[in-house]
């Protein structure tokens, strides 16, 4: 194990922790931007440090194709290749293959796919995924899992969950650098609480350095989403980090943190920036909108980032459709927003002001008090009273129903 996880403060299920990784001492909850090929589009490493990025996520699939893991290994790993002094996390590569390549197929051996370079059939096994990630050298590496969409039902979900458990042992056995890199297991099981429970127990038995909750953010409804997160966080060990994969909407991060999750990653903040959208406390601001053309205010008057200190909405409106600088400035602001959200979550928990923070966050996003019912339900399970900032919950939802499986 190459990490230390110390909880510094709690509010019910929510926790603020210090996560010490080989390359950086991180504060959780934290958001990790996705740097597909060793770069966050349009931002320099200095800017990423200035914004407060603690961990960057690299896509193993893209890195393995270019520059290749062998070259990265030769050059001293991804840290030295991209001159990033802080922490890195790599995914297993499986998700990218399944989502990007039409002909990807999963068998017991691994993920088979057609090479995008020469069209030849290729196979990514759990052993190979770990070998590649060992060469890339990130602080946190992810087990190869059998990914299925949460919207799929039936025996395929069960097959994928059991296969994920079989593959974790192959990943652990293949891992050659356990003292320098932390292998996280991924909880699968779709929206089925029984399968999720079996998977959590199986992974916890393996005593891994950290655990991810996978297979979400795939189009499932929000109530199913938070219930899976709540079930998994309740069953995962207190002294290990919990990472919800693919989550990047600010509201989802606040809800998951209230339920006891610590880490998040998503392309959303940078992708939406490229489409001209800024994240603001009220929700989003579309800079392409004609109303921005003569708006002299900054994107977010309450934001103290470099972009908001220097530029008007009108200026960014001008750039956003014509010049790469527009999406760079928006990416900068959006990542700054995510990092500030991470810091605010951390410090409000440490300073015992978490419920107040949640209420203020919801009041800004839902000034009329129309907080979605799923948020109200999740907050009730998290033990956070938001009645001062939203309408009372109308449904008679049974708080304990989602945890019954665990108690059997």
Which positions lie near Zn ion, rule CB under 5 A? 303, 305, 307-308, 333
In this complex, which beta carbon is closest to Zn ion, that of residue 124 or of residue 307? Answer: 307
Residue 260: burial class (beta carbons within 10 Å; 0-12, 13-18, 19+): buried
Would you call 262 a catalytic residue per the annotation? no
119 known member of a binding site: no
Shortest spacing between CB 50 and Zn ion, in angstroms: 12
Residue 119: burial class (beta carbons within 10 Å; 0-12, 13-18, 19+): exposed
- Residues forming a β-bridge with 213: 187, 244
In this complex, which beta carbon is closest to Zn ion, that of residue 38 or of residue 248? Answer: 248
What's 264's DSSP letter? E
In this complex, which beta carbon is closest to Zn ion, that of residue 68 or of residue 310? Answer: 310
Shortest spacing between CB 332 and Zn ion, in angstroms: 8
219 known member of a binding site: no
Q: Report CA-CA distances (Å) from 97 to 110, 113, 183, 236.
A: 11, 7, 20, 28
Measure the CA–CA gap between 199 and 160, rounded to whole angstroms.
10
What's 206's DSSP letter? T
* Torsion sign (Cα): 126, 127, 128, 130: positive
Which residue out of 73, 91, 197, 408 is catalytically annotated? 91
In this complex, which beta carbon is closest to Zn ion, that of residue 5 or of residue 337? Answer: 337
79 known member of a binding site: no
Residue given tokens 């199986």 in the structure block? 202
The first and second tokens of residue 27, run together, are 């504060």
Which residue out of 146, 197, 262, 265 is catalytically annotated? 265
Shortest spacing between CB 268 and Zn ion, in angstroms: 17
Asked if residue 63 lies in contact with residue 39, where contact means CB atoms within 8 angstroms, the answer is no
302 known member of a binding site: no
Asked if residue 203 lies in contact with residue 211, where contact means CB atoms within 8 angstroms, the answer is yes
24 known member of a binding site: no
The first and second tokens of residue 239, run together, are 């002294």
Smallest CA-to-CA distance from 211 within 202, 224, 223, 220 is with: 202
* Cα 122 → chain centroid: 28
94 known member of a binding site: yes
27 known member of a binding site: no
In this complex, which beta carbon is closest to Zn ion, that of residue 122 or of residue 335? Answer: 335
Measure the CA–CA gap between 267 and 273, rounded to whole angstroms.
10
188 known member of a binding site: yes
Q: Where are the alpha helices (DSSP H) in 222-368?
A: 222-235, 250-258, 268-274, 306-310, 313-320, 324-350, 354-365
Smallest CA-to-CA distance from 171 within 222, 206, 204 is with: 206
Q: Are strands 105-106 and 111-114 parallel, antiparallel or unpaired?
A: antiparallel
In this complex, which beta carbon is closest to Zn ion, that of residue 168 or of residue 339? Answer: 339
Shortest spacing between CB 340 and Zn ion, in angstroms: 9
Shortest spacing between CB 349 and Zn ion, in angstroms: 24
Shortest spacing between CB 310 and Zn ion, in angstroms: 10
Specify binding-site residues: 91-95, 145, 188, 215, 303, 305, 308, 333
Specify binding-site residues for substrate: 91-95, 145, 188, 215
Which residues have a catalytic role annotated?
A: 91, 265
Specify binding-site residues for Zn(2+): 303, 305, 308, 333
């Amino acid at each position: 194990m190459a990490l230390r996880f110390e909880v510094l403060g709690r509010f019910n299920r929510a926790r603020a922790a210090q996560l010490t990784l080989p390359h950086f001492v991180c504060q959780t909850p934290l958001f990790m931007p996705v740097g597909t090929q060793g770069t966050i589009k349009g931002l320099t490493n200095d800017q990423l440090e200035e914004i407060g990025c603690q961990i960057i996520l690299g896509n193993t699939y893209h890195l393995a194709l270019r520059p290749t893991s062998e070259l990265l290994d030769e050059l001293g790993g991804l840290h030295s290749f991209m001159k990033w002094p802080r922490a890195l996390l790599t995914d297993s590569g499986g998700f990218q293959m399944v989502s990007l390549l039409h002909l990807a197929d999963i068998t017991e051996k691994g993920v088979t796919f057609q090479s995008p370079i020469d069209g030849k059939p290729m196979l990514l096994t759990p052993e190979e995924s770990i070998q590649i990630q060992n060469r890339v050298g990130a602080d946190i590496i992810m087990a190869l899992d059998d990914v299925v969409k949460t919207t799929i039902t039936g025996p395929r979900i069960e097959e994928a969950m059991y296969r994920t458990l079989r593959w974790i042992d192959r990943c652990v056995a293949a891992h050659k650098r356990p003292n320098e890199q932390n292998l996280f297991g991924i909880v699968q099981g779709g929206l089925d609480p029984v399968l999720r429970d079996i998977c959590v127990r199986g992974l916890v038995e393996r005593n891994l350095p950290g655990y991810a909750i996978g297979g979400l953010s795939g189009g499932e409804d929000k109530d199913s989403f938070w219930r899976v997160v709540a079930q998994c966080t309740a069953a995962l060990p207190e002294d290990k980090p919990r990472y919800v994969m693919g989550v990047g909407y600010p509201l989802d991060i606040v809800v998951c943190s209230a339920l006891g999750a610590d880490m998040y990653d998503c392309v959303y903040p940078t992708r939406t920036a490229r489409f001209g959208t800024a994240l603001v406390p009220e929700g989003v601001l579309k800079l392409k909108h004609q109303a921005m053309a003569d708006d002299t205010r900054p994107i977010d008057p309450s934001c103290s980032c470099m972009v908001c200190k220097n530029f008007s909405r009108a200026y960014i409106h001008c750039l956003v459709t014509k010049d790469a600088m527009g999406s760079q400035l928006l990416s900068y602001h959006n990542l700054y927003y995510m990092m500030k959200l991470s810091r605010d979550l951390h410090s409000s928990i440490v300073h015992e002001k978490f419920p107040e923070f949640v209420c203020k966050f919801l009041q800004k996003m839902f000034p009329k008090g129309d907080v979605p019912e799923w948020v109200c339900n999740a907050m009730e399970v998290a033990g956070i009273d938001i009645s001062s900032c939203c309408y009372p919950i109308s449904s008679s939802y049974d708080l304990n129903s989602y945890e019954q499986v665990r108690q059997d």
